[in-house]
């Protein structure tokens, strides 16, 4: 079939435009509580590290990766909206102002606490029905290069963020769904100033320029990235958001907007993908049982598989806890070499298990029949015993046997992961949200979709399917748990986390981060820093990072004395420096209310009253 012949009606827009032109009340009417006012927000400096003050609030707080997005959530909370209401407003603004990281073309995980119960909502992208385990293999059976696979139609999963938010809103929404779109629609129509980070991301991007729509939307005629401060309007996104505001997720998953997505994915000039209208229409968000794990005086609740986040974080923290306590985990306000050694070794062990066992639970069984086997006390004690004075070194850690049974999976080799945004919110009634949201790599599949409007702009399609293992089998022919299968959700590292006091059951913190697989290290260290070392949310987020996915170790560039790097190398870590751009946001409860921190490495801020 000639994919270009897939037709989609462009006339649908006429109804939207004429309604807008006539000033018909598609959104907030005069008698509703929420009236959005676009703020004047000064852009931050373009530097990679901006000191943040930390923010104390009394009644509610919202933390997100961009000031306009945080402000939209703040205005919703101020108007009496719930944490979920605010999350919806934040996400829609992020689609517009931080398009490189998340949006309506991607997926997300949302943890919710309503003062009584914790729930986990899964809006992860799914592989189309027509996908097979050879999705990312070339004609010779070799895996494609990462960017060949990512910047293509192959990598696009059926998006799930909007359906997931709709599911959460049905339960926890207080303000009408449509009103929550007002901030993003107004900013898309009137324009917003391109932020330093968006500008820098555009400047560093090659493939996006090649996309028919994105190339002319985000770059000047001379091929320059839009400058910082440029007032950018996105009429296509405004029209799409109006449709979703009016008609819910079905406006995205069926009809002309879905037809346009399918047309673009199937019509990719180099490597077309296989998403069908049926895939779009039948996407379901899922409520999953959250994983809650006791650790020291706290109960830490996080996302279950298909995320590897909580299990891997809690393996690291659980292993550390079973090692003799260090006298100086912090030295001159930095994690000490001794602590870094143990943290990296625990990470090597945890990532070995992650690579073997964790994948979509609708397709693979947990080791021993239950994911809790991976956090079993005796099992973690056995794993902790493997840590010695020297590092096991790159690829020296092997997966264990949680649950005591041999599971026939081959270990997935490590692959790059990037992108993403984290939102933490606590509303006045004590409802809390921790939501991590992604289109996977920066600018996802590098395909902008205008929803068939024919207007300038649109939203970016994800490349989430590259979170599957490119190779379906290990060297000996054993299947890899996280291989591509039709209708499956790729393994994630996203770690939206809610922390409770074990004794009082009170909410203690909401946090999470982007950063690919390093989300796990960023979040684990922030938890240790806040809960064990007693740092406040901002101090905890400022601490420099150290990571390993099992191979070499990396220290955050320019943040540790040279002696630390040398010492880790003497211990066998094969360590070097590199940029480690987390985007942590955290809100913690204090005696007077809340204290929020935003990552100094990105543009996030916290607001509240």
Closest to ligand GLU by CB, 12 vs 121, is 121
Cβ(240)–Cβ(184) under 8 Å?
A: no
Number of neighbours of residue 146 by Cβ within 10 angstroms: 18
Q: Would you say 453 or 492 has its CB closer to ligand GLU? A: 492
- Nearest-approach distance from CB 360 to ligand GLU, in angstroms: 12
CB-count burial class (<10 Å; 0-12, 13-18, 19+) for 148 = middle
Alpha helices (H) in 372-460, listed in sequence order: 377-385
Instruction: Point out which residues bind ligand GLU (CB under 6 A).
Output: 417-420, 438, 440, 464, 467, 492-494, 514-516, 519
Q: Do 516 and 308 meet the contact criterion of CB atoms below 8 Å apart?
A: no
Q: Is the dihedral of CA 287, 261, 250, 169 positive or negative?
A: positive
* Least spacing, CB of residue 578 vs ligand GLU, in Å: 15
Q: Round to whole Å and give the CA distance between 212 and 139.
A: 27
Smallest CA-to-CA distance from 419 within 448, 460, 385, 362 is with 460
* Tally of CA atoms within 13 A in the half-sphere of 220 that contains its CB: 10
In terms of Cα–Cα distance, which of 439, 447, 444 is closest to 264?
447
Nearest CB to ligand GLU, comparing residues 368 and 512: 512
The torsion region of residue 515 among left (phi > 0), alpha (psi -120 to 50) and beta comes to: left
| Residue with smaller CB distance to ligand GLU, 122 or 440 | 440
Per the DSSP assignment, residues forming a β-bridge with 507 are 500
Q: Quick one: which of 107, 87, 57, 106 has its CA closest to 183?
A: 87
Query: Measured from the CB of residue 495, what is the shortest distance to ligand GLU in angstroms?
Result: 9
What lies within 8 Å, CB to CB, of 580 at 6+ separation is: 515, 518, 522, 545, 547, 554, 555, 556, 557
For the CB of residue 418, give the shortest distance to ligand GLU in the complex, in Å.
4
CA dihedral 326, 328, 333, 335 (to 10 degrees): -40
Least separation in angstroms between residue 515's CB and ligand GLU is: 5
Residue among 519 and 546 whose Cβ is closer to ligand GLU: 519
Query: One of 126, 161, 420, 548 is an active-site residue; which one?
Result: 420
The CB-of-109 to ligand GLU minimum distance in angstroms stands at 8
Q: Is the Cβ of residue 457 or residue 512 nearer to ligand GLU in the bound state?
A: 512
Any idea what DSSP says for residue 519?
H
Polymer length in residues for the chain: 609
Among candidates 514, 521, 583, 601, which has minimal Cα distance to 554?
A: 521
| 3-state SS, residue 157 | coil
To the nearest whole angstrom, how small is the minimum distance from the Cβ of residue 520 to ligand GLU?
9
**In this complex, which beta carbon is closest to ligand GLU, that of residue 225 or of residue 309?**
309
Smallest distance, ligand GLU to C-beta of residue 107, A: 8
Q: In the complex, which residue's CB is closest to ligand GLU? A: 420
95 counts as catalytic: no
Select 214 or 520, whichever has its Cβ closest to ligand GLU: 520
Question: Catalytic positions, please?
Answer: 420
């Amino acid at each position: 079939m000639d994919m270009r012949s897939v037709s989609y009606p462009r006339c649908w827009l006429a109804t939207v435009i004429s309604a807008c032109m006539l000033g018909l009340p598609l959104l907030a009417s005069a008698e509703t509580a929420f009236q959005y006012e676009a703020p004047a927000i000064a852009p931050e400096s373009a530097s990679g590290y901006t000191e943040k003050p930390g923010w104390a609030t009394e009644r509610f707080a919202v933390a997100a990766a961009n000031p306009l997005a945080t402000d939209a959530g703040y205005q919703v909370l101020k108007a009496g909206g719930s944490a979920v209401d605010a999350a919806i407003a934040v996400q829609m603004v992020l689609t517009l102002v931080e398009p490189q990281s998340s949006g309506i073309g991607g997926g997300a995980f949302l943890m919710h606490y309503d003062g009584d119960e914790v729930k986990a909502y899964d809006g992860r992208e799914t592989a189309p029905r027509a996908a097979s385990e050879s999705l990312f293999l070339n004609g010779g059976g070799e895996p494609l290069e990462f960017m060949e696979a990512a910047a293509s139609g192959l990598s696009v999963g059926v998006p799930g963020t909007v359906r997931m938010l709709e599911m959460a809103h049905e339960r926890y929404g207080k303000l009408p769904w449509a009103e929550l779109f007002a901030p993003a629609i107004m900013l898309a129509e009137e324009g917003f100033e391109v932020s330093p980070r968006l500008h820098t991301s555009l400047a560093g991007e090659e493939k996006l320029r090649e996309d028919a729509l994105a190339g002319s939307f985000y770059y000047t005629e001379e091929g320059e990235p839009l400058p910082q401060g440029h007032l950018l309007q996105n009429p296509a996104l405004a029209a799409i958001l109006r449709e979703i505001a009016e008609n819910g997720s079905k406006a995205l998953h069926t009809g002309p907007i879905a037809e346009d997505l399918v047309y673009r994915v199937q019509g990719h000039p180099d490597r077309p993908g296989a998403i069908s209208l049926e895939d779009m229409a039948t996407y379901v968000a899922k409520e999953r049982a959250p994983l809650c794990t006791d650790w020291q005086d706290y109960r830490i609740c996080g996302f279950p598989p298909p995320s590897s986040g909580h299990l891997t974080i809690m393996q690291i923290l659980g292993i550390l806890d079973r090692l003799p306590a260090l006298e100086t985990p912090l030295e001159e306000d930095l994690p000490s070499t001794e602590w870094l050694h143990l943290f990296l070794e625990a990470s090597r062990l945890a990532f070995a298990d992650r690579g073997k066992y964790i994948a979509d639970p609708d397709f693979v069984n947990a080791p021993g029949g239950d994911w809790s086997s991976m956090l079993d006390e005796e099992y973690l004690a056995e794993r902790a015993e493997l840590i010695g004075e020297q590092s096991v070194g790159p690829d020296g850690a092997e997966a264990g046997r949680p649950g005591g049974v041999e599971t026939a999976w081959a270990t997935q080799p490590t692959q790059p992961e990037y992108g993403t945004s984290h939102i933490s919110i606590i509303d006045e009634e004590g409802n809390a949200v921790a939501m991590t949201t992604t289109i996977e790599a920066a600018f996802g599949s590098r395909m902008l979709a205008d929803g068939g409007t024919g207007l300038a702009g649109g939203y970016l399609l994800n490349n989430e399917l590259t979170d599957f293992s490119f190779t379906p089998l290990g060297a000996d022919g054993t299947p890899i748990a996280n291989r591509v299968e039709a209708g499956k959700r790729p393994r994630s590292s996203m770690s939206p986390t809610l922390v409770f006091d074990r004794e009082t059951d009170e909410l203690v913190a909401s946090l999470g981060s982007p950063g690919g697989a390093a989300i796990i290290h960023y979040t684990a260290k922030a938890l240790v820093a806040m809960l064990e070392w007693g740092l406040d949310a901002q101090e905890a987020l400022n601490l420099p990072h150290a990571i390993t996915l099992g191979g070499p170790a990396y220290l955050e560039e320019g943040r540790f004395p040279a002696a630390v790097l040398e010492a880790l190398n003497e211990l066998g870590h094969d360590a070097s420096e590199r940029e480690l751009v987390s985007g942590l946001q955290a809100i913690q409860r204090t005696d007077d209310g809340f204290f929020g921190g935003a990552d100094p490495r990105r543009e996030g801020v916290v607001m509240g009253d």
